[in-house]
């Protein structure tokens, strides 16, 4: 007989009181409905590791939607249900809890989304990716806090190992390849020996996964504290080249990611910035390939395009003689993450200085006069209004004029010159 481990005290210590109370009540209600309730997945892993994680995932042996309806009456919040998947989400105050009906999954073919049918907790845990993510804690009153560890997850946590549950795991769902690298690098674990062999064997299966799902995995990686570690490992194992053969997870990238974080701290760098740095070495054509494969959103695709288009202008930006208006002209209209990517990527101190001047000052400079002001000065409507505003903008940028009055005089001067000519 294996010893029973009870984590009630740990739950009490590590989770906020509201969530602890919620789980106590939820367990009672579930049992009163003749159901069993469990806390599962990442939060169990993180409880054992002593890491903060307040994303409660609950599994119900029975019907999650029935339980959720009952609980929302007690908790007074919002409920969202997906009857097809028999799942529900409860949200109240700043909390959000997912409830799912225990299910088993089968894969019709590699990479396909699984067919799902109601099942027991055992089958629900067996469908999961890694042993460290396949543990549960019972929340029924009589067994509250009891750890259910059918696949040796606790042992693997202790030995710092990421291990799949069965030999077909990566074939069934090759996104687990990326997930495995993410957990390994986040937790400073190792892929267990056989898992590593199977991962390598199944790398070609990544081609069975839709670009949308791979993009989601990348987004998760960019949400990590140090995504460069995952990308370095992905290059080492030949996973990154499945994304695009020209991509590299090298020291250059690590350095640039680090600088990106320093620049955007306390927030994480936007995904577009990370992606633009990753794709910085690609040609326009290769980048287009990546954009369509990952089905990137319009703004992020634009950031990638802008970033490469700006890269081609870095030589011009490295000219120490550039006037502010010329710097503005070279950088205006590009998305901010694309400009920042070039600031980080450029080798030229002069170009970097010019980009910084633009980001910190020039991009905010506008003429004081508007089109209407020009009309009021007696200038006839037409293309010359735009032209004059552009000239004023330039004069402002280059410090040739500093006040609204000065701008008026400048315009008048231009007009008399024109009269003379
Ligand atoms: N899961 C899985 N296979 C996947 C995705 C998810 O088995 N391809 C399971 C795992 O048991 C995981 C749980 O679903 O623990 C929830 O998934 P997710 O929220 O993505 O992961 P977390 O474990 O919560 O991890 P993270 O800390 O990265 O959020």
Query: What atom in ligand 1 is closest to the CA of residue 179?
Result: 8
Q: What is the mean pLDDT of the segment spanning 111-131?
A: 90
The tens digit of pLDDT for each residue in 21-63 reads: 999 999 999 999 999 999 999 999 999 999 999 999 999 999 9
pLDDT given at position 3: 80
Nearest CA to ligand 1 atom 9: 128
Structure tokens at 25: 């009540």
Beta carbon of 128 within 6 Å of any ligand 1 atom? yes
Residue bearing the bigger pLDDT, 73 or 137 = 137
Predicted confidence band of residue 76 (pLDDT cuts 50, 70, 90): confident
Predicted confidence band of residue 111 (pLDDT cuts 50, 70, 90): confident
d(Cα 182, Cα 221) in Å, to the nearest integer? 6
CB of 131 closer than 8 Å to CB of 151: yes
Question: CA nearest 191: which of 204, 175, 208, 179?
Answer: 179
The tens digit of pLDDT for each residue in 234-293 reads: 999 999 999 999 999 999 999 999 999 999 999 999 999 999 999 999 999 999 999 999
User: How many whole angstroms from 48 Cα to the centroid of ligand 1?
Assistant: 16
Nearest CA to ligand 1 atom 24: 42
Structure tokens at 376: 């009021």
CB contact set of 331 (below 8 Å; sequence gap of 6+): 310, 317, 339, 354, 355, 358, 362, 363
Q: What percent of the chain has pLDDT over 90?
A: 91
pLDDT given at position 419: 56
The tens digit of pLDDT for each residue in 174-198 reads: 999 999 999 999 999 999 999 999 9
Beta carbon of 175 within 6 Å of any ligand 1 atom? yes
Beta carbon of 133 within 6 Å of any ligand 1 atom? yes
The pTM assigned to this predicted structure is 0.92
Q: How far apart are the first and last CA of the chain?
A: 102
The tens digit of pLDDT for each residue in 304-319 reads: 999 999 999 999 999 9
Query: What atom in ligand 1 is closest to the CA of residue 46?
Result: 27
Structure tokens at 227: 């995504």
Beta carbon of 173 within 6 Å of any ligand 1 atom? yes
Q: What are the structural domains, with CATH classification, of the chain?
A: 1-161 (3.30.460.10), 210-364 (1.10.3090.10), 371-416 (no CATH)
Q: Which residues of 18-44 are buried (b: 16+ CB within 10 A; e: fewer)?
A: ebeebbbebbebbbeeebbbbbbbbbb
User: How many whole angstroms from 130 Cα to the centroid of ligand 1?
Assistant: 9
User: How many whole angstroms from 155 Cα to the centroid of ligand 1?
Assistant: 19
Tokens 């009163």 locate to 32
Beta carbon of 176 within 6 Å of any ligand 1 atom? yes
The tens digit of pLDDT for each residue in 100-110 reads: 999 988 888 88
The tens digit of pLDDT for each residue in 5-17 reads: 999 999 999 999 9
User: How many whole angstroms from 128 Cα to the centroid of ligand 1?
Assistant: 8
């Amino acid at each position: 007989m294996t010893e029973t481990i009870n984590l009630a005290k740990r739950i009490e210590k590590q989770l906020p009181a509201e969530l602890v109370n919620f789980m106590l009540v939820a367990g009672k209600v579930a049992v009163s409905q003749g159901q069993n309730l469990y806390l599962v997945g990442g939060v169990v892993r993180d409880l054992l590791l002593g890491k903060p994680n307040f994303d409660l995932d609950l599994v119900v042996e029975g019907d999650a939607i029935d339980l959720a309806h009952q609980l929302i009456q007690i908790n007074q919040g919002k409920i969202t249900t997906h009857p097809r998947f028999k799942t529900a989400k409860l949200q109240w105050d700043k909390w959000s809890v997912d409830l799912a009906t225990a299910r088993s999954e089968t894969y019709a073919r590699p990479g396909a989304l699984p067919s799902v049918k109601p099942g027991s907790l055992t089958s629900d845990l067996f469908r999961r990716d890694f042993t460290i993510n396949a543990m549960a804690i019972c929340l029924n009153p009589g067994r509250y806090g009891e750890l259910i560890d059918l696949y040796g997850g606790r042992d693997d946590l202790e030995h710092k190992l990421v291990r799949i549950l069965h030999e077909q795991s990566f074939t069934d769902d090759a996104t687990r390849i990326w997930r495995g690298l993410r957990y390994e690098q986040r937790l400073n674990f190792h892929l267990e020996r056989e898992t590593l062999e199977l991962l390598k064997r199944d790398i070609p299966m990544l081609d069975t996964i839709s670009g949308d799902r791979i993009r989601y995995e990348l987004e998760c990686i960019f949400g990590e504290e140090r995504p460069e570690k995952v990308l370095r490992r992905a290059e080492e194992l030949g996973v990154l080249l499945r994304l695009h053969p020209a991509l590299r997870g090298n020291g250059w990238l690590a350095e640039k990611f680090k600088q990106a974080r320093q620049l955007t701290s306390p927030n994480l760098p936007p995904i577009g910035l990370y992606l633009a740095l990753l794709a910085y070495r690609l040609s326009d054509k290769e980048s287009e390939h990546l954009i369509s494969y990952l089905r990137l959103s319009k703004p992020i695709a634009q950031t990638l395009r802008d970033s490469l288009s700006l890269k081609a202008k870095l030589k011009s930006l490295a000219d120490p003689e550039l006037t502010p208006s010329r710097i503005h002209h070279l950088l205006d209209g590009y998305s901010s993450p694309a400009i920042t990517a070039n600031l980080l990527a450029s080798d030229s101190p002069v170009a970097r200085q010019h980009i910084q001047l633009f980001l910190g000052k020039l991009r905010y400079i506008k003429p004081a006069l508007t089109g209407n002001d020009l009309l009021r000065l007696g200038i006839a409507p037409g293309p010359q209004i735009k032209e004059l505003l552009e000239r004023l903008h330039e004069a402002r940028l280059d410090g040739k004029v500093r006040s609204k009055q000065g701008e008026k005089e400048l315009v008048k001067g231009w007009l008399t010159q024109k009269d003379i000519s």
